[in-house]
Chains A and B, each alone.
Chain A
Amino acid sequence: EVQLLESGGGLVQPGGSLRLSCAASGFTFSSYAMSWVRQAPGKGLEWVSTISGSGGNTYYADSVKGRFTISRDSSKNTLFLQMNSLRAEDTAVYYCASSILLMVYAPGYWGQGTLVTVSS
């Protein structure tokens, strides 16, 4: 059974930084793309970033490009999202997700999410 457990959320001031983690189990972590998807309070889902299984390819939404960095550590089966220069509009629940297919990187299996609040 695929299990994804996010951590690292919390309250941070505008302009600050935060690092989210997602511990994965139940599948061959290094084979599948991983993504971060966020949901602002009362709003819809927003794709944030994806990293390929090898970690060699990364992709970002325009809204976070240059501020967020996605990475993965296959020795620890863990996905990361380094968030810098945080803004109020980054306030959201952040979900990590693995792809279901090897070659199609859409979010497939989801974690329960971690809340990030950017406020002074």
Chain B
Amino acid sequence: QTVVTQEPSVSVSPGETVTLTCGLSSGSVSTSYYPNWYQQTPGQAPRTLIYSTNIRSSGVPDRFSGSILGNKAALTITGAQADDESDYYCVLYMGSGIWVFGGGTKLTVL
């Protein structure tokens, strides 16, 4: 079974740019996987940041952007802020109605 891979943890300094990735244990991610990105803080429900690769959800600051970089989906935060410290999850469409989440990335802003 194909596994969706994410960095377990990433650190960034305030004001810097950071890119989180979402890959496959076998193969390359393309727009056909309709990658979505979610942000979750402890005790809260997930919040959709990006859907269908690069469409920003309503109310999401434009410092968040989505793309395909090489063979992975990517979430870039330009000018990280302290309140961006959260868990970030991607999900990919595997076909036949099946979606698979990555294991999540814990982003630390310090």
Instruction: Give A residues with C-beta under 8 Å from B.
Output: 35, 37, 44-47, 50, 57-59, 61, 95, 100-101, 104-113
Q: Is B91 an interface residue (CB 8 A)?
A: yes
- With A104-B51, A110-B48 as contacts: A45 and B98 at CB distance below 8 Å: no
B100 surroundings in chain A (CB, below 8 A): 47
Question: A44-B89, A95-B46, A113-B45 in contact; A106/B96 too (CB < 8 A)?
Answer: no
Point out the residues of chain A lying under 8 angstroms from B47, CB to CB: 110
The dominant DSSP class at the B interface is: strand
Which one of A45, A57, A113 lies within 8 Å of B101 (CB-CB)? Answer: A45
Contact A111 B103 (CB under 8 A): no
Is B97's beta carbon under 8 Å from chain A?
A: yes
- Residues in A neighbouring B89, C-beta threshold 8 A: 44-45
Which residue in chain B gives the minimum CB-CB distance to A95? B45
- Closest Cβ of chain B to A95, distance in Å, is 6
Interface residues of B in 17-46 (CB under 8 A from A): 34, 36, 38, 40, 45-46
B40 contact set on A, CB distance < 8 A? 45
CA A37 – CA B47 in complex, angstroms? 13
* B57: Cβ under 8 A from any A Cβ: yes
Q: Of A44, A59, A104, which is within 8 A of B104 by CB? A: A44
- Cβ–Cβ < 8 Å partners of A104 in chain B: 34, 51-52, 93
Assuming A47-B91, A104-B51, A108-B36, what are 9 further A-B pairs, CB within 8 angstroms?
A: A45-B89, A47-B99, A59-B97, A107-B36, A107-B99, A108-B57, A109-B48, A110-B47, A112-B45
Q: Report which of B51, B57, B98, B101 forms a contact with A44, defined as CB distance below 8 A.
A: B101
Assess whether B52 is in contact with A111, with CB atoms less than 8 Å apart. Answer: no
